[in-house]
Structure 1
Amino acid sequence: EVGQTVASCLTGFGAYSEYICAPESEMTPVPPGLDPAEAVCLVANYVVAYQVLHRAAQVAPGERVLIHGAAGGIGTALLQLGQLAELEMYGTASTAKQELVANLGATPIDYKKEDFVERILSLTGDGVDVVCDSIGGSYVRRSYKTLRPGGRLVVFGGVAFAAEGILNMLWGNLILRPILNLIPDRRAALTYVRGDSKKNSSPEWVREDLSKLFDLLAQKKIEPILTRMPLAEAARAHELIGNASVKGKIVLMCNTA
């Protein structure tokens, strides 16, 4: 209704603006009293994290989970939701972000200084049950090696595009992943379509999951890690993201000096 605070995942461009036009059917009401900056973190990052864990991997309490990019926007969401799901978590991150990962309940692994495959096998003995891989590319095969029998690799991102190029990313994400499923070793490699693009085929999933997440935020069971910046500094925000110098999420604020 008019004047109500709502949230939506856009499938295209235009979110860096003060006003947008979107179908009412794609709106999810935001409960009164929530911080808008914290609420907007849930719309993409936490919806993706929730669906990776609960719809794609279908995690169970006590399972071991490896999370790549654990200090980023989706990574920190995965860690917080993983704590609520009572998971045993391991997270890759750079040295400067190790403390954050540890504070969110995971064992940090410095991917720049150690081989995460060897480290996981050393820590666990036989590997993990789930890998949440937002990197893709060459990480797909290496992530798969960390799985124990019955484990699930969920590939849901393409960060490797910037470092490895489009061909390597496509090889890992689209070609190698289905080939791995032909290996009769009781391990599975899945592709998760991000929540914002999944919306058109399953809009009820996004609204249902986002509503659950808003309830968790209202109950203070989750707390988005974020940095607020003026909308006018959008270019600078992208520089920070590109340099991997951001912990959690950057939120662009309208009507700020």
Structure 2
Amino acid sequence: MSSTATVTATEIVLPGKVEPEGLTSRSRDLSAPGKDQVVLRMEATGVCFAEQQMRRGKYYDQPPFPFVPGYDLVGTVVATGEQVDAALVGRRFAAITKIGAWASHLLIDAADLMPVPDEVEPAAAETVIVNGVTAWQMLHRVAKVRAGRTIVVLGANGGVGSTLVQLARHAGITVIGTASSRHHATVRALGATPVDYRDPQMYARIRELAPDGVDAVFDHVGGPGIEDSWQLLRRGGTLVSYGTAASKDEEGNSQLPVLKLFARLNAWNALPNGKSAHFYNLWAGKRRCRASWQRRTTEDLAQVLRLVADGRLVPQIAARFALADTVAAVRLAESRTVAGKVVIVPER
């Protein structure tokens, strides 16, 4: 069934390289959904590190300004295109958008919708869409860590990190997690042994906890410290790099730090020491086969959401802000003072 009713969307726009206060709001009428599209009413979206990079023009695949940020969301279908099952109306789904989710309503390809169980509330589901899929795939598809092994998670209090810690503990894996001292209680509650990332001897502290080396390190920081992460591995261990947070404030080409990282990881993989290094990219394989990528992503999110529904994975929601308060949401997310993810919800 198609819909001809006009939907007015409120959108948060990033006009250029501005401070969070430079974000603007606009209202516009959405076009009717295309034949394979739906209109999704946002119930929860959030602020992730990618948007913090985009604000600075530093995202690897930087979209041109101006644009509406928003990497993922949970929402309810309110209208469908002519070739989409009208029974989807009123049902809740998640979607990974990369941009566009900081909006009250948006157009989504129906093929990109991923079911959300009724028993998982929108903000909880939002917290584990990209974060949960990323953590699940790095742990189980890339590093393939088995029960009884030991891993290191840098940024164990963050969105991906806190999810990764919980998934690993659920799988019977010992976790050492780095975080500032203010978040050590949270990291312990998640099941990891905390180490202060501000300690100049952080890597030495980790080696004291795991003198024989660890089986995997999950590093979103990059920069010079990636060498220390590599050195933590025992023979047969795996380094999974998934970001270059260390360079987020550097001027210059946004792709250069990633390309340098690729070169270093490839060089390490050529060494005959039994260790391996990988760069995890959520979007890998989508251009080659969109259907296969979407199927894999949907399957992995379903695994994560089932753990949430069963109470075995607790989404770490740092705070909730109304869409109109997105500036404050971004400010808090960038303050490095919170554990978990800052979530944006519709106007109250």
Fold-level similarity (TM above 0.5):
yes
SS in 1 for 2:274: coil
- Which is higher, the Rg of structure 1 or of structure 2? 2
Q: Distance in 1 between matches of 2:194 and 2:182?
A: 11
Mapped contact 2:333–2:341 kept (Cα < 8 A): no
Q: 1:194-213 counterparts in 2 under 5 A?
A: 194=282, 199=286, 201=289, 202-213=293-304
- Say whether residues 1:123 and 2:212 are aligned partners: no
Task: Choose from 209, 232, 241 the match for 2:324.
Answer: 232
Q: Distance in 2 between matches of 1:173 and 1:228?
A: 34
Q: Distance in 2 between matches of 1:235 and 1:138?
A: 32
Q: Distance in 2 between matches of 1:42 and 1:207?
A: 12
Q: 1:150-229 counterparts in 2 under 5 A?
A: 150-163=236-249, 166=254, 169-170=257-258, 172-194=260-282, 199=286, 201=289, 202-226=293-317, 227-229=319-321
1:198 Cα deviation (Å)? 5.5
SS in 1 for 2:119: coil
CA RMSD of aligned residues (A): 1.7
Using a 3 Å threshold, how does the CA distance of structure 1 residues 77 and 198 change in structure 2: closer, same or farther? farther
Mapped contact 1:133–1:153 kept (Cα < 8 A): yes
Q: Distance in 2 between matches of 1:167 and 1:24?
A: 32
Mapped contact 1:137–1:172 kept (Cα < 8 A): no
Mapped contact 1:138–1:169 kept (Cα < 8 A): no
Mapped contact 1:26–1:203 kept (Cα < 8 A): yes
Amino acid at match of 1:222: L
Equivalent residue pairs, number? 254
Q: Distance in 2 between matches of 1:193 and 1:44?
A: 11
Q: Distance in 2 between matches of 1:69 and 1:163?
A: 18
TM-score (norm 1): 0.93
TM-score (norm 2): 0.69
1:199 Cα deviation (Å)? 5.0
Gaps of 5+ in 1: none
Amino acid at match of 2:315: P
Percent identity over the alignment? 33
Amino acid at match of 1:173: L
Mapped contact 1:144–1:153 kept (Cα < 8 A): yes
Mapped contact 1:136–1:172 kept (Cα < 8 A): no
Q: Distance in 2 between matches of 1:163 and 1:129?
A: 31
Q: Distance in 1 between matches of 2:285 and 2:325?
A: 29
The structure that is strand-richer by fraction is 2
